[in-house]
Structure 1
Amino acid sequence: MSFTNRRTTAANASLISTRSMSSTVSPALASALREAGAGPFATGHPLNGMLEKAGWYGKTFTSVHDVKPLMCRDEKGELYSNRELGKGEASLWTVEFRGETTATMVYDGQPVFDHFKRVDETTLMGIMNSKGVPAEGPFYYFFLERVSGAPHGSPRAGEDS
């Protein structure tokens, strides 16, 4: 299933249903995506449109303890980890969310959690949750798709070598 170019409006109920049909993942499986392109589901959440304006491209999983949650493109199109926007970087943990235990990205510098479920071999669905959000939401829904042939292990623009 491909979510690429999925910029259409999606109802929260439809996304919740899709998420409930997806399987949970371990932090190791989530980190196996390595480099993932991302995109939002347009649900009317306050973040819809904001990350795109920052040049959000996706996430890079170096290991379960080293995740770059906000990989963005600069004005030259180069990828970099936007540590300022993310208030640091992140790591993967196993966390219960809505009665299921699944891989969750925990941001280093802010109370934000991205809970993941597997859609297929190369795609994860995420729900961003944070301190102060009621149990029923609103949540920010997004997808991650593994980037095939992406280079790994080399420094990114804007990162320390």
Structure 2
Amino acid sequence: MAATNQKMTSQEALTYFDSLEPVDAPMMIGTWHGQGIDTDHPMDGLLEASRWIGKRFDGPDAVYPLVHKGLFGRDFFVNPALLPLGLATHLPMRDPLIKVLFPLLGPFLSTGKPKARLRMTEFRGKVSATMQYDARPINDVFRKIDARNVLGLMDHKGAQAPFFFKLTKVP
């Protein structure tokens, strides 16, 4: 199951996540490109529709959790506190609508400040690097696939199942 871009159930993704080794925080420093993993989660496809690129870790207290591609190719950072996650996952024709609206709304959702931090936390029996959002009850816990790739599990308070994604470190 090393090819995490394949469709899998939430339980298969969780089993794979549990089989991976922890990540130490220094490994996460840098810029990472991301992709969602299709597990039939309500957020599947949402990040890609919003032109999400990945995450940037400048240091333990300077993390940009949502890096997006703007209309003219310029990257920008989204402030997660401004995103209506509940509404976004239930919109009719969500992905086509977000593909159109998100680039237009980007300037109103953007920030120049880090909106998360990086800590080592224990989750499911292992201590691993975890990105903690400043303004949301969300932790992204990382496990090592290989030297350049990590599997992320978004632990969102109140969610029925975790959301999974893969990050690849930009050289």
Partner of 1:140: 163
Q: d(CA) in 2 for partners of 1:2 and 1:19?
A: 12
The total of aligned residue pairs comes to 140
Partner of 1:14: 12
Q: Is the 8 A contact 2:68 2:75 kept in 1?
A: yes
Seq. identity, %: 27
Runs of 4+ that moved beyond 2 A: 84-88
Q: CA deviation at 1:89?
A: 1.2
2:38 alignment partner AA: A
Partner of 1:24: 22
> Where does 1:106-145 land on structure 2 (aligned, <5 Å)?
106-133=132-159, 137-145=160-168
**In structure 2, which of residues 32, 43, 58 is the aligned counterpart of residue 47 of structure 1?**
43
2:89 matches 1:93 = no
Report the structure, 1 or 2, having the larger helix content: 2
1:27 alignment partner AA: A
TM-score, structure 2 length as denominator? Answer: 0.75
Unaligned runs of 5+ in 2: 84-108
TM-score, structure 1 length as denominator? Answer: 0.79
Partner of 1:68: 64
| CA RMSD, 1 decimal | 1.9
